[in-house]
Structure formats: C-alpha cells, structure tokens
C-alpha cells in the first residue's frame, strides 16, 4: 500500500490530522493497535480550549459539539471551603467548551467513515522504518499477515507508550519529566453537576475538582496518595471526602449517586525533544504529558495537529518546506507554555507531602491574590482558555 502520510494511532490526534489532510487533498492511512470499541470506550478529559473548538469546526466535525457541548464563560477556584469565580468572557473575551474527548473521537470516526478514510484497527506490531531517509515505510500485522505501507511522512500519534517516540535514537532524543507524589481518584456518576461551571478546590486535606460531561453526567476527583487502591474507596467514602474539600455551598447542594466508573490516575509532566526526526513527527501524548489540572492534554494534541497540518499542506500544495522543517520548534514553544501553566495550577492547588503549614498558607495567599487582582485573574484566564496557536 502507498500513501502520503502514515498515521500511527487512531485516537483524536490521528483522526483529526487525517481529516484535515483529506480536506486538503492529502492522502493518509491510520494504523490503530486497539479495536474501535476500545478507543471509543476510553474515559478522558472534557474541556476544550476555544482554539480547539475552532479546529474541530475547521475539520467539519463540530455540528454535534455545537448542539450538545456546554460553553463555559468562567470557572471557580476555592480555598478553605470558599470559592470565587474567574470570568473568562469578561477578562479575555473568550470561553471554553465542555465536550468529552470520547465524543470528539466519535465525531472524528464518523467523519472519516463518511469520507472513506482508511483506518486500520487492531494493527499489531506496528513499526516505522527508514525514517531518516526520503523513503520511509511502516510495517504491521493484521489477522496474521504482515503488511507494508510506503509513505512520504510518518505521524506518531500513538501516545506515551507507543512505538513512535521509541524510534528516535537515544543520541537524539531528550526527555524532561516530573512525577507528582499523588494521584486523582475520579468518579463518574449519573447525577446533575453540582455547579454550572468547574470548581477547582484547594484544601489542607488535598485537591478536589467538580466537573461534568453533560447536564446529567458528573465527573468528580479528589487527590489521593499514589499507593491508594480504588477498592479502598467506597462511593460513600468518596462523596464524604469530596464534601469536605469543596466550597460549603457546593457541598450542601451536591447530589450523589452510585459511581458508574471509578479509577485512580497518576500525575506527571513530560516533554520529549525534538518532536521531529527525519520523516517522523511526534504528536500529542507521544511527545508530551501534562497533569490534568490545567485541562491541556487534548488541547495540546490539537495544537500539534494544527502546526503539522499547516506544514504538510504547505509542503504538498505550495512546495514550501519550512512548515515541515520547523514543526518541532513551533509545537514545542506552545507545549512548554502549557506545561508551565499546568505545573503552576498543580502546584497551587494540591497538597504536597513536604509543604507543611507554611506551604498551605502560601497557596491560600496566592488564591486570595487571584481573587483580589484583576490582572492576576486575566493571566490565569488567558492561559486557561488557551494561548494562540
């Protein structure tokens, strides 16, 4: 088989890149290790920067998001069980959209199917070859038979554990990482959200987040030690702990119910440089991980797709190589800004093992300053809604 761009990974990054390339007349093939049902069953974040919203519209996959998504013009921060609001619309004239990553992936799969996109699921043993030449190719096994795809470029959209980043020589690749000493215990429940906008809560017992997927489906988190097990947490214990950490008025109106999904996720910050080697491009989680505190994971993948799509379009349609050559430089500039914001939010809101009383008071003072300072709130809002691509 021959294509122009072979995309490894059938998550939202790979699907979005394939869709945008198709609309510009550029061929691609997607190889996905898992089944489609598995990909669509993954529970992921649900806050889209406005730049991501516009990218989905550009890709002609925004219709259901427009109908069912929840535009948010602000968010709440709290300390000592008292909250205040950051008004995005007033401060920076933008908003965010709450629309689950699972729904984004559904919409992208539907769009690729409608346009005849080639998505090969359950492709085993995917491996790129000759990436540092002008004739790269990718091999994989499907139903016991080995196949080969010749291509011009390979886009590695296969996540943190994928083969793409591992294909860059150790002598070239640099990685930067911080692993945080806690995790998030998350619960999904078929209950109305406690607030019409997200609540990020700092508390001496640990961080908490009140989020949602839709008006009848809520997503809540509490910070827990890394060695905690899901089995240690009954639903009642979770709801009791959440009430202790969030603003008092929210705790009073919280509607609880049985959890339909419960899991513990570790937190880390990670960046790989460069994001381009030879004819290989790293996209999304293959190149970087952010703690979920800043809601940047999916959005960073979308911005990577933006830069790569622009570069490939200019290469094929205009004969201009600069966008392809500068992909890593352009993408990493935005990656590090988002890493900075996510690290700041994580440091501000979580209880660290060694912070003591002084560290807690510093966090509370920083939150108090955010509440009183319009310029501080503006900086926070500007980063939360998303820096320009």
For the segment 175-210, what is each residue's pLDDT rounded down to a tens digit? 999 999 999 999 999 999 999 999 999 999 999 999
Among 252, 322, 39, residue whose Cα is nearest residue 157: 39
Helix axes 356-372, 374-385, angle to 10 degrees: 90
Q: Choose, from 140, 200, 220, 327, the residue flagged as catalytic.
A: 200
Q: Choose, from 296, 306, 309, 350, the residue flagged as catalytic.
A: 296
Q: Choose, from 12, 22, 72, 309, the residue flagged as catalytic.
A: 72
Write out the residue limits of the CATH 3.50.50.60 domain(s) in the chain: 5-70+98-177+268-345
Residue 381 has pLDDT above 90, yes or no: yes
Q: Would you call 296 a catalytic residue per the annotation? A: yes
For the segment 245-289, what is each residue's pLDDT rounded down to a tens digit? 999 999 999 999 999 999 999 999 999 999 999 999 999 999 999
Read off the pLDDT of each residue in 92-112 and give the average, rounded to a whole number.
Answer: 96
Structure tokens at 127: 């491996």
For the segment 16-39, what is each residue's pLDDT rounded down to a tens digit? 999 999 999 999 999 999 999 999
The whole-model pTM stands at: 0.96
Q: Choose, from 292, 309, 327, 350, the residue flagged as catalytic.
A: 292
Q: Would you call 327 a catalytic residue per the annotation? A: no
Q: Would you call 128 a catalytic residue per the annotation? A: no
Confidence band for 42, pLDDT divided at 50, 70 and 90: confident
Q: Choose, from 137, 220, 327, 384, the residue flagged as catalytic.
A: 384
Distance CA 226, CA 211 (A): 22
In the chain, the DSSP E strands lie at 5-8, 28-31, 47-48, 70-72, 74-79, 82-87, 96-98, 118-120, 124-129, 137-142, 145-150, 153-156, 174-189, 199-202, 208-214, 217-224, 259-273, 276-277, 280-282, 288-289
Write out the residue limits of the CATH 3.30.9.10 domain(s) in the chain: 180-267+352-385
- DSSP letter (8 states) at residue 161: T
Written out in words, the top-level CATH class of the domain with range 5-70+98-177+268-345 is alpha beta
Residue 162 has pLDDT above 80, yes or no: yes
Confidence band for 380, pLDDT divided at 50, 70 and 90: very high
Structure tokens at 164: 């793409």
% the chain with pLDDT above 70: 99
Distance CA 177, CA 289 (A): 9
Q: Would you call 200 a catalytic residue per the annotation? A: yes
Q: Give 180-267+352-385's CATH code, choosing from 3.30.9.10, 1.10.3720.10, 3.30.70.580, 3.50.50.60.
A: 3.30.9.10
């Amino acid at each position: 088989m021959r294509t122009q761009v072979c995309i490894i990974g059938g998550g939202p990054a790979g699907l979005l890149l394939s869709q945008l390339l198709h609309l510009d007349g550029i061929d691609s093939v997607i190889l996905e290790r898992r089944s489609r049902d598995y990909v669509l069953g993954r529970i992921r974040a649900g806050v889209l920067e406005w730049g991501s919203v516009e990218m989905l519209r550009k890709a002609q996959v925004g219709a259901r998001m427009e109908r069912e998504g929840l535009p948010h013009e602000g968010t709440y921060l709290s300390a000592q069980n008292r909250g205040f609001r950051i008004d995005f619309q007033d401060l920076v004239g933008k908003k965010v959209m709450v629309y689950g990553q699972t729904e984004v992936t559904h919409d992208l799969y539907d769009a690729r199917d409608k346009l005849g996109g080639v998505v090969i699921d359950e492709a085993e043993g995917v491996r790129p070859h000759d990436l540092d030449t002008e004739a790269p190719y990718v091999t994989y096994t499907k139903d016991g038979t080995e196949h080969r795809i010749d291509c011009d470029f390979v886009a590695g959209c296969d996540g943190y554990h994928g083969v793409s980043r591992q294909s860059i020589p150790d002598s070239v690749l640099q990685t930067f990482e911080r692993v945080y000493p806690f995790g998030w215990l998350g619960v999904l429940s078929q209950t109305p959200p406690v607030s019409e906008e997200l609540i990020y809560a700092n508390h001496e017992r640990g961080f908490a987040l009140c989020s949602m997927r839709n008006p009848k489906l809520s997503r809540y988190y509490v910070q827990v030690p890394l060695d905690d097990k899901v089995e240690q947490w009954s639903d009642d214990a979770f709801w009791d702990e959440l009430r202790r950490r969030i603003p008092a008025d929210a705790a009073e109106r919280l509607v609880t119910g049985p959890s339909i999904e419960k899991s513990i996720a570790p937190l880390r910050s990670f960046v790989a440089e460069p994001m381009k080697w030879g004819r290989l491009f790293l996209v999304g989680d293959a190149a970087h991980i952010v703690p979920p505190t800043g809601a940047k994971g999916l959005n960073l993948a979308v911005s990577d797709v933006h830069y790569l799509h622009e570069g490939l379009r200019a290469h094929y349609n205009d004969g201009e190589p600069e966008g392809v050559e500068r992909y890593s430089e352009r993408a990493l500039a935005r990656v590090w800004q988002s890493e900075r914001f996510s690290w700041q939010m994580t440091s501000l809101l979580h209880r660290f093992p060694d912070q003591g009383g002084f560290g807690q008071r510093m966090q509370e003072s920083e939150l108090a300053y955010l509440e009183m300072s319009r310029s501080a709130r503006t900086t926070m809002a500007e980063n939360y809604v998303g820096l320009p691509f």
